[in-house]
Amino acid sequence: MTTLYDLQATTNHGQTKSLSDYKGDVMLIVNTASKCGFTPQYEDLQKLYESYRDQGLQILGFPSNQFGEQEPGTDSDVQSFCQINYGVNFPLFAKSDVRGESANEVFRYLTESQPFRGFDTSEPSGKMLHAFLSEKLPEWLIDDSIKWNFTKFLIDREGNVVGRYESTVEPLAMKEDIEALLNAGK
């Protein structure tokens, strides 16, 4: 049976990176975009990284241009944008697809491990995104695939995918869940 640690991805500098390199760390894996309404989440992702990386948190960003073509630049453009605008220094990977037949193997694994449970429509952003997809792309709401930019997956130190947080969930709202995983077994 394949585990997350069996998978590889290409960094935004073109190197192949094994996810086994993160074995023993808590990971937050996020599909990102530079021109999305959720792009300001980079700021809080960076804050989480700075607060918890010494305790073993890794944040891995996977840019994708599949959602409204909101990541049109090159991998170099993405890196520059993230560093200049948000001070991002957590690992970024090469632009890739994260949904559909062409989805990279990491996101195929993640979506198979954690199903889509819907948006919190009691929140304005959840209500808005659900309404938008219902009207424009209703078929996207049917399965467990990624629905939009900034879907976040939380992975424990053993490589188990323990949480899925949709685009509308702010990164800092995951703080308690991250801390619980970092402190587990101590």
Catalytic residues: 36
Nearest-5° angle of CA 59, CA 64, CA 69? Answer: 140
CA–CA gap between residue 68 and residue 113 (Å, rounded): 25
CA–CA gap between residue 89 and residue 82 (Å, rounded): 8
Residue 21 tokens read as 């390199």
CA–CA gap between residue 74 and residue 81 (Å, rounded): 10
CA–CA gap between residue 185 and residue 90 (Å, rounded): 25
Residue 84 tokens read as 């200049």
